[in-house]
Amino acid sequence: MSTFLHPHARRRAPVAAALVALWFAPGPLPAHAEAITLDHAVARALAGAPELARAQALRTAASERAASAAQLPDPELLLGLDNVPIEGDDAGSLGADFMTMRRIGLMQRFEGAGQRRAGQAAADAGVALRDAATDSQRAALARAAAQAWLDWALACARVELLAGQRPRYEMHVASADARVAAGGGVVDGIAARRELAEFEARLDAARGLRDEAAATLSRWLGERVEGEPAALPEVDALPDEAGDATSAALPEIIEGQRRVERASALAESARLERRPDWSLEASYNDRGSQYDDMVTLGLRIDLPVRASARQDREYAARLAERDAAEAQLEQRRRERDGELEALRARWRSAGARVARYQATIEPLARAEAEAALAAYRGGGGDLADAVDATHSAERASLDALDAVADQASAWVALRYLLPEP
């Protein structure tokens, strides 16, 4: 018995068992490496994801910028010679004229009222945005890795399901050969072998899809996939956090909210840019040994005489960016609310299909195939009828697998709404 399905699901659902059980008693399965569970695959994908390493690096960069935003600009060193004569007998002399001074001082620039606080708030909002972006990235990676595992597990189940059909096609060949040996037409023998060959082609195609799914999963795990999938988690009940979740809980929406907050902080910082910066300076003036030294104190104030052409336009641009962020957030909120409802509806619909296949379609298809084959073996039926019934039963099992796949895919998408801790 395959480990693909959860043990409780195998007891409850024949349709689920049909995904992995052979119609005819199979031989023992070969030994495999340790089975890979869904949670283990997701954990491995998150542990080595370069996307998360990049997100963390960007978060560190934002944090460092936030720390620097709180600091004053570096002070400036002032050096100068004032009032040096350039004419007369004292031209070029630094000590002959009482007005000549050697000056050394410092100047400190200060931003306009509230500008540094606004800049700090914008930088802090940038850090919060990077945190939210990291959570959003982690949740997206978890969903992608979980879906890749599910695709691989379902592809393995499809191969196993189809492999279980081989005895029926081989029985067609044996029954046709028996009729030929008894004096019947050779057409049935040829047709039965053709059906077996076409079945083998379908099985080869399923194996190819399984290998492709394993390669896709390897991309998320960062290593070659070895072994087989473990039991599928219980998918007939939604996780508590997903049953009635709204878009407000999604990391993507929280990231959008942080983006709006950062845009608002940048707009406020741009608004305060219209207030002038100012600087204080203090200098010591050396006038030579025969004169008294002096001190100079000064205040410099920027004059925003072109505010309408510079600061006001920058402020308007920041407001437009904030409005765009708010509109994008509202768009994503509506989209995600619709997607959540669609996923829950898809999960319920697929569950109903699984139940229908379990209760009626698969049992009837198997019974029809067995009856048609028995009639043919007993000499009272046609090979074409037996083959058609076998095809119908095979298709019913594959359709049942598709229904389980739809339900499990919706369950996975809802299960990994939130980032893994």
pLDDT number for residue 379: 78
Residue at 261 is within a domain:
yes
Q: Between β-strands 294-301 and 101-110, what pairing exists: parallel, antiparallel or unpaired?
A: unpaired
Phi, psi of 296 (to 5 degrees): -115, 130
Quick check: is 76 in a domain? yes
pLDDT of residue 11: 35
Inside any domain, residue 1:
no
State the pLDDT at residue 243. Answer: 62
The tens digit of pLDDT for each residue in 202-256 reads 999 999 999 999 999 999 988 888 888 988 888 888 876 666 677 888 899 999 9
Q: Quote the number of domains for the chain.
A: 1
Question: In Å, how far from its chain's centre is CA 243?
Answer: 20
- The reply to whether 420 falls in a domain is no
Distance CA 372, CA 364 (A): 12
| Domain harbouring 62, CATH code | 1.20.1600.10
Tell me the helix, strand and coil percentages in the chain, rounded to 5: 65, 10, 30
Q: Establish how many alpha carbons lie within 13 A of residue 403's alpha carbon, considering only the half-sphere containing its beta carbon.
A: 25
Euclidean distance between the first and the last CA atom of the chain, given in angstroms as a whole number: 34
Q: 164 in a domain, yes or no?
A: yes
How far, in Å, CA of 384 to CA of 390, rounded?
A: 10
Task: Indicate whether 50 belongs to any domain.
Answer: yes
Mean pLDDT in consecutive groups of 10 residues from the start of the chain, 421 residues: 40 38 32 76 89 89 84 89 80 74 91 80 90 91 94 94 90 86 80 92 95 93 88 82 75 93 92 86 86 89 81 90 95 91 92 93 92 85 87 92 93 79 47
State which residues form the domain around 302. 7-415
For residue 307, is it within any domain?
Answer: yes
Given this model, what pLDDT does residue 182 score? Answer: 77
- Within a domain: 337: yes
Helices (H) then strands (E): counts for the chain: 12, 4
What's the length of the chain?
421
86: its two tokens: 């350039």
Distance CA 351, CA 18 (A): 15
Token duo for residue 218: 């390897």
Residues 176 and 195 sit within 8 Å (Cβ to Cβ) = no
What stretch of H or E contains 197? helix 187-221
